[in-house]
Amino acid sequence: MNVAAGVTAVVAVSLATLVIGAFGLRVSRTTSDFYVASRSVRPLVNASAISGEYLSAASFLGVAGLVLAHGVDALWFPVGWTAGYLILLVFVAAPLRRSGAYTLADFAQLRLESRSARLVASSLVVVIGVLYLLPQFQGAGLTLRTLVGAPTWVGGAVVALVVSTIVLSGGMRSITIVQAFQYWLKFTMLLLPIFLFLHHWRGDGSPHVSHVHLSDWVEPLNGPHAMYLTYSLILATFLGTMGLPHVVVRFYTNTDGRAARRTTLGVLGLLGLFYLLPTLYGVLGRIYAYDLVRTGRTDSVVLALPASMLHGATADLGAALLGAGAFAAFLSTSSGLVVSIAGVISQDLLAGRVIGVRAFRWATGLAVAVTLVLAVATSGLPVARAVELAFAVAASTFFPLLLLGIWWKGLTPPGAIAGLVVGGGLSASAVIATLAGYTGTGWGGALIAQPAAWTVPAALLTMIAVSLATPRQRPPNVVRTMVRLHAPEHVDVDRGSYDPESSR
């Protein structure tokens, strides 16, 4: 492949992102601007921004890779990542916006009125954030290796540098605009080459997949424990979305609870539109790039297709477009994650030592550096699988916290903390085992590979049981908090005095 085209694509995307980010520089002066863009973002822009931030390396590269390798069973990944927003919409969107919380830690403090619950939530935000950030850096390494043959650590380092620059200079305001731009950039970059491919495919006599390959790829539920693995994946993705730190922070930028719902509906539409494309790449890959399955490099199928199907300048153009889109994916997801992780670290973990915007900058550097080291140290897991592990932890911790916190007055601080510790501990152990390379056989292996089906119920039941055992520890203002979460904004009622901006 033409190295110049790849380099141009990556540099162009990085520059465009930085330039658009620079627009926000003048307006983000105070800390609260820095975090949430002053709540002045309209639903369509916000829906694009949420989708832009959400569509990561796993969506842009990983889904096509999994479809290429595993066929129809892999389609549960994008379906689950979209359905997660429906579950978020019905249980969480409006109440979370009405809570006024910036972060999941803020929500824990508001609802439970407990400093300890806040700290447990903060630690989990960092764990989930770093787990999600890791595959982004690895995906960037893979992209630069495919495009220009650079060593894998280079891509991660480039993303780390650009993301730190954006986050440190602009904060969230710029990031909202950048993210909205990124959605449409990613969508266009994935859509345009499809026309080139389909043109070539027709000219080729429209070869059918079955020529190349086997029925177990076309038909669902393959392999041992397929039923368990599929349902566990469904639970993790459907329920985990609401617990991702960079998703939640976006809801604060809606004007009110109603706008939060409409924004989420917009996200459902935009994600559905986008996810039609990676499937096509996976199927085309099965026809034209089957050797990637043999060499175990299925994650690079999106980037490899231009060279496998096209020739000369069109191949270079296709590769440049896709390389640019992939880089946009790493930049957008990584910057959203870094803002969220840094927000929590600077507020709760560096509290007292450094303050305000300075703490935020320190925290940004710390989060990026730690992830970069981890990204170099671990690797080998398919990108979409690695991301899904972060979902499993989110589903086993913040899903029960949000569900019970919003809909049940009986949730107490000891109940919430016990559930977070049990769900987080069990799921994180399984995830660490998988990241460390453990691949067991039989039922044990399946339970570790996809833990959500048992860790989510464990966390939920622990929260309910411990809360029922500690009824005297209900937060004193829980009734007023419920009014705040559920009453429409224009009803003039007392919503309590909690204000995340003043606690900052």
Partner 1 sequence: MIDEPPARVRIQHQDKARRTRLDMTDEIDSQTALGEALVDSLIRAQFRLAIVIVLIVALTLGALPMAFRFVPSVAEAHIAGIPLPWLLLGFLAYPLLLVLGWYFVVHAERNEATFIDLLDQS
Q: Which of 271, 435, 458, 463 touches partner 1 by CB under 8 A?
A: 271
Q: Which of 34, 76, 102, 360 touches partner 1 by CB under 8 A?
A: 76
Choose among 53, 32, 319, 22: nearest CA to 184.
53
Q: Which of 7, 12, 79, 168 touches partner 1 by CB under 8 A?
A: 79
Note whether 269 binds partner 1 by CB under 8 A: yes
Looking at 3-114, list the stretches that DSSP marks H as alpha helix, in order from N- to C-terminal side.
3-23, 31-36, 43-54, 57, 63-70, 76-91, 93-99, 104-112
Q: How many residues bind partner 1 (CB under 8 A)?
A: 56
Q: Which of 202, 203, 205, 227 touches partner 1 by CB under 8 A?
A: 227
CA distances from 154 to 150, 162, 310 (A): 7, 12, 27
Instruction: Compute the least distance from the CB of residue 404 to partner 1, in Å.
Output: 12
Instruction: Compute the least distance from the CB of residue 63 to partner 1, in Å.
Output: 11
**Cβ atoms of 268 and 85 closer than 8 Å:** yes
Pull the structure tokens for residue 166: 């954006």
Kindly tell me which of 77 and 181 has the beta carbon lying closer to partner 1. 77
In angstroms, the CA 338 to CA 331 distance is 10
Q: Which of 8, 30, 230, 314 touches partner 1 by CB under 8 A?
A: 230
Instruction: Compute the least distance from the CB of residue 81 to partner 1, in Å.
Output: 11
Note whether 439 binds partner 1 by CB under 8 A: no
Instruction: Compute the least distance from the CB of residue 20 to partner 1, in Å.
Output: 29
- State the helix-helix crossing angle for 43-54 and 257-288, rounded to 10 degrees: 40
Kindly tell me which of 231 and 290 has the beta carbon lying closer to partner 1. 231
Residue 201's H or E segment, with its range, is: helix 152-203
**Cβ atoms of 383 and 84 closer than 8 Å:** no
Greatest CA separation found in the chain? 73
The whole-angstrom distance between residue 136's C-alpha and the CA centroid of its chain comes to 10
Question: How long, in residues, is the chain?
Answer: 504
Note whether 86 binds partner 1 by CB under 8 A: yes
Place of tokens 């389909």: 198
Q: Which of 75, 140, 248, 453 touches partner 1 by CB under 8 A?
A: 75
- Contact set for partner 1, span 207-226 (CB under 8 A): 218-221
Kindly tell me which of 89 and 160 has the beta carbon lying closer to partner 1. 89
Kindly tell me which of 227 and 377 has the beta carbon lying closer to partner 1. 227
Kindly tell me which of 194 and 483 has the beta carbon lying closer to partner 1. 483
Instruction: Compute the least distance from the CB of residue 461 to partner 1, in Å.
Output: 18
In angstroms, the CA 189 to CA 303 distance is 11
Note whether 412 binds partner 1 by CB under 8 A: no
The whole-angstrom distance between residue 1's C-alpha and the CA centroid of its chain comes to 30
Pull the structure tokens for residue 464: 């309910």
- Contact set for partner 1, span 91-110 (CB under 8 A): 91, 94, 109-110
Note whether 261 binds partner 1 by CB under 8 A: yes
Q: What residue type is assigned to position 116 of the chain? A: S
Q: Which of 35, 54, 85, 102 touches partner 1 by CB under 8 A?
A: 85
- Contact set for partner 1, span 112-141 (CB under 8 A): 113
CA distances from 155 to 55, 240, 315, 374, 380 (A): 18, 28, 22, 14, 16
Binding footprint of partner 1 on the chain (CB under 8 A): 72, 75-76, 79, 82-83, 85-87, 89-91, 94, 109-110, 113, 218-221, 227, 230-231, 234, 238, 258, 261-262, 264-265, 268-269, 271-273, 275-276, 279, 407, 476-477, 479-480, 482-483, 486-488, 491-494, 496-498, 503
